[in-house]
Amino acid sequence: MSEQHKPLPYAGIRVVEFTHMVMGPTCGLLLGDLGAEVIKVEPIEGDSTRRLLGSGAGFFPTFNRNKKSITLDLKQPEGREAALRLVATADIVSENFKPGTMAKLGLDYASIRKLNPRAIYVSHKGFLPGPYEERTALDEVVQMMGGLAYMTGRTGDPLRAGTSVNDIMGGMFGAIGAMAALRQREQTGEGCEVQSALFENNVFLVAQHMMQFAATGRAADPMPSRISAWGVYDVFTVKDGEQIFLAAVSDKQWAIFCNAFGLQEMLSDPRLKTNNDRVRAREWMMPMLRSHLAERTAAELAAVFEANELPFAPITRPQELFDDPHLNQSGGLAPVRMNDGSEARVPLLPLTLDGERLGIRLQPPTAGEHSAALLRELGYGQAEIADLQARQVTT
């Protein structure tokens, strides 16, 4: 657990989320880390995300800290009644189910607005309203149809990005929309509906490539075969097969790079005078640079680049980040409870408020961990709660 020295900005805001997987939980994660009370409504058996294998095994502990859990069977009238009592107390209601699901349960925005006009309702969907809005979407689906997979892979080999970029950013935009709606509510006294979508998020990500075409009339090449905007901006394979990313993106950095590695002849070559000259000369320049650096180790190159304040990066695998000295010494990783009860460390939000990281106040909850306490708060007596538990309306 972490202790904050100052009140968090969304303390006192209650969020009720009907979410699973990544997109919706990311919205609640952001609001929860910023101080909101986030209540996760789960089915009786618990969010299915808790039981994922493979690439989904870490989803639940990553995106569900700083939340409470209540289990409710929304297919039973008593479960829906408890959910309605709960959303009546909410500032924000968040969901990421298929279109029409919440309406069938009587938990859509139109229904909740009648019950709680001040509620802000955040829907995380595949598509914003339009011809595609009823389609089923996944992160990989929109990466393929939205140009990101084309840009990430080699020509003829579209490849999804190496993380759930649209799910995570879609949840972030849902949270940003909720924040904007809270501000609007201060002015109007009323809530509103916020929508965030995977496809439109993906299009926002590739906007720079769309606008490159608009500006130049030339279609953007996939990243592995693109014409770089910078003369030196590459992965180098060096001694013992190690790899390191090295860059020199300005004329000043080019001069520093050449002087650091004894490349005065290239520095004085008029064909390499400016960054744009070097971009045009990459076909013959880069093999020369690769050959010149090939016998140095990655550590030696990193030391020279760091000493000269030049951009560089080791090629790091995700699991190696647990040992990253910067993350460990700066407090960027915090202890988190995993699905099996073991402990690991999870990255915190990549920001500080007044110099402080936003920590973990509540560990990812067990399914229904807060059911009884929340039901009591909603006016249920102990006998009523026991009856609901006996009939598997809650746990």
User: What is the per-residue DSSP string for 90-122?
Assistant: -SEEEE-PPTTHHHHTT-SHHHHHHH-TT-EEE
Q: Convert the pLDDT of each residue in 213-225 to its tens digit.
A: 999 999 999 988 8
Q: Convert the pLDDT of each residue in 73-125 to its tens digit.
A: 999 999 999 999 999 999 999 999 999 999 999 999 999 999 999 999 999 99
Using a 10 angstrom Cβ sphere, with 0-12 exposed, 13-18 middle and 19 or more buried, the burial of residue 117 is exposed
Q: Convert the pLDDT of each residue in 369-395 to its tens digit.
A: 999 999 999 999 999 999 999 999 999
Contact 234, 286 (CB under 8 A): yes
Rounded Cα distance between 266 and 263, Å, is: 5
Domains 14-206+324-390 and 228-317 share a fold: no
Rounded percentage of the chain residues whose pLDDT exceeds 70 = 99
Rounded Cα distance between 23 and 63, Å, is: 9
Question: Would you state the pLDDT for residue 350?
Answer: 97
- Look over the chain and give the mean of its residue pLDDT values, rounded to a whole number: 96
The CATH code belonging to domain 228-317 is 3.30.1540.10
Question: Would you state the pLDDT for residue 227?
Answer: 74
Q: What are phi and psi of 387, to 5 degrees?
A: -65, -45
Q: Convert the pLDDT of each residue in 259-296 to its tens digit.
A: 999 999 999 999 999 999 999 999 999 999 999 999 99
Read off the pLDDT of each residue in 116-137 and give the average, rounded to a whole number. 97
| pTM of the entire predicted model | 0.93
Q: Convert the pLDDT of each residue in 9-56 to its tens digit.
A: 999 999 999 999 999 999 999 999 999 999 999 999 999 999 999 999
In order of 135, 226, 322, the CA distances from 89 in angstroms are 32, 52, 39
| SS3 assignment for 117-164 | CCCEEEEEECCCCCCCCCCCCCHHHHHHHCCHHHHHCECCECCCCCCC
* Confidence at 3, pLDDT banded by 50, 70, 90: low
Rounded Cα distance between 46 and 49, Å, is: 8
Q: Torsion angle, CA of 290/293/298/299, rounded to 10 degrees?
A: -160
Which of these, 101, 103, 45, lies nearest to 71 by C-alpha position?
45
Please state the domain extents for the chain: 14-206+324-390, 228-317
Q: What class has domain 14-206+324-390?
A: alpha beta
pLDDT tops 90 at residue 229:
no
